[in-house]
């Protein structure tokens, strides 16, 4: 994520993760879907100067629907079979036609200190604290907004804590998570950090009760330029651009 302390800089991301990472099977599915997600406009390979510290998702691969062929009757039994079918209880028809279950899909998150630059219809992540907090008027009309706390001072109203040089420190993670889930018992607590600092932050929250750790969602910065999900995280920031950064998130990341 871009550092919120520099005006006009590129967005900084954040994220937290559940105490238990996804299974290898779900992780593979998440990565496969992530590879199919591409932002609407091209992004730079790296952040512009002064955009903040390095480190930390749109359309997901669809599922093909399956159809079943019905078998027919013939010969001398054709009339009897037809009569039996006609007299069968209506309940049999409704029981056979069960709706297919729907599956939630990964999605893209665009984070920026200039939320107006983020394409319409996308999930927006922007800053609630720091040198240049973003006013709510800047995201008016946006359906989903993830608010990032860069100082660790707004756990009750912000969705995520930005843990990177120049923002919150790893030692603030446990206290922020505790304060957030105490204020919002059913909310997730997103922790955003770089892949290099991740283990340090994990160590800090290890002392929390398991019930609180279960509400953590990890947002990890790994700007390879290619859509992917870092194993064990629920969101990965993989692209740093001049106007915004892009992440791929798994279902349930910010709920």
Instruction: Report the run of H or E that residue 221 belongs to, with start and end.
Output: strand 216-221
Phi, psi of 83 (to 5 degrees): -65, -40
In the prediction, which pLDDT does 88 show? 45
What is the SS3 assignment for 129-160? CCCCCCCHHHHCCCCCEEEEECCCCCCCCCCE
> Average model confidence (pLDDT) for the chain?
75
In the prediction, which pLDDT does 193 show? 98
Residues in a beta bridge with 123: 109
In the prediction, which pLDDT does 33 show? 58
Whether residue 229 contacts residue 27, with contact meaning beta carbons closer than 8 Å, is answered with yes
Reduce the DSSP state of residue 182 to 3 states and report it: helix
Q: Residues 16-38: what's their mean pLDDT?
A: 51
Candidates 251, 234, 255, 246; CA nearest to 37 is 246
Tokens linked to 175: 């206290």
Reduce the DSSP state of residue 111 to 3 states and report it: strand
The pLDDT-based confidence of 131 (bands split at 50, 70, 90) is confident
Q: Between β-strands 107-111 and 245-249, what pairing exists: parallel, antiparallel or unpaired?
A: antiparallel
Measured CA to CA, the distance from residue 165 to residue 163 in angstroms comes to 7
DSSP string, 29-85: HHHHHHHT---SS---SSPPTTS-----------------PPP---GGGHHHHHHHH
In the prediction, which pLDDT does 30 show? 57
Measured CA to CA, the distance from residue 100 to residue 67 in angstroms comes to 11
pLDDT above 70: residue 62: no
Phi, psi of 16 (to 5 degrees): -130, 165
Q: Show the domains of the chain with their CATH numbers.
A: 24-58+104-249 (3.20.20)
pLDDT above 80: residue 143: yes
Q: Residues 212-225: what's their mean pLDDT?
A: 98
Measured CA to CA, the distance from residue 24 to residue 142 in angstroms comes to 34
pLDDT digits (tens, 9 = 90+) for 160-196: 999 999 999 999 999 999 999 999 999 999 999 999 9
Q: Residues 90-95: what's their mean pLDDT?
A: 40
In the prediction, which pLDDT does 132 show? 86
Tokens linked to 163: 């843990």
The pLDDT-based confidence of 87 (bands split at 50, 70, 90) is very low
Q: Find the angle CA(247)-CA(215)-CA(253) to the nearest 5 degrees.
A: 25
Task: Return all residues near 128 (Cβ < 8 A) that are at least 6 apart.
Answer: 134, 147, 148, 149, 154, 157, 158
In the prediction, which pLDDT does 254 show? 87
pTM of the complete model: 0.66
Reduce the DSSP state of residue 190 to 3 states and report it: strand
- CB neighbour burial string for 133-170, b if at least 16 within 10 angstroms, e if fewer: bbeeeebeebeebbbbbbbbebbeebbbbbbbeebbeb
């Amino acid at each position: 994520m871009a550092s919120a302390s520099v005006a006009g800089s590129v967005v900084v991301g954040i994220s937290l993760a559940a105490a238990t990472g996804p299974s290898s099977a779900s992780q593979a599915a998440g990565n496969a879907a992530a590879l199919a997600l591409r932002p609407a406009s091209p992004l730079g390979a790296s952040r512009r100067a002064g955009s903040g510290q390095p480190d930390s998702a749109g359309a997901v691969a669809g599922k093909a629907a399956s159809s079943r062929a019905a078998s027919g009757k013939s010969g001398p039994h054709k009339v009897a079979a037809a009569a039996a079918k006609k007299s069968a209880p209506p309940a049999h028809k409704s029981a056979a036609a069960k709706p297919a279950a729907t599956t939630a899909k990964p999605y893209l998150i665009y984070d920026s200190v200039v939320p107006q630059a983020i394409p319409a219809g996308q999930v927006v992540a922007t800053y609630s604290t720091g040198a240049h907090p973003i006013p709510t008027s800047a995201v008016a009309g946006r359906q989903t907004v993830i608010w990032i706390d860069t100082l660790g001072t707004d756990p009750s109203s912000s969705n995520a804590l930005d843990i990177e040089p120049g923002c919150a420190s790893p030692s603030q993670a446990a206290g922020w998570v505790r304060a957030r889930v105490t204020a919002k018992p059913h909310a997730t607590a997103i922790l955003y950090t770089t892949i290099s600092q991740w283990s340090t932050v994990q160590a800090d929250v290890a002392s929390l009760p398991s019930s609180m750790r279960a509400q953590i969602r990890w947002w990890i910065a790994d700007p390879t330029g290619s859509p992917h999900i870092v194993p064990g995280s629920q969101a990965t920031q993989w692209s740093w651009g001049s106007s915004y950064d892009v992440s791929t998130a798994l279902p349930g990341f910010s709920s």
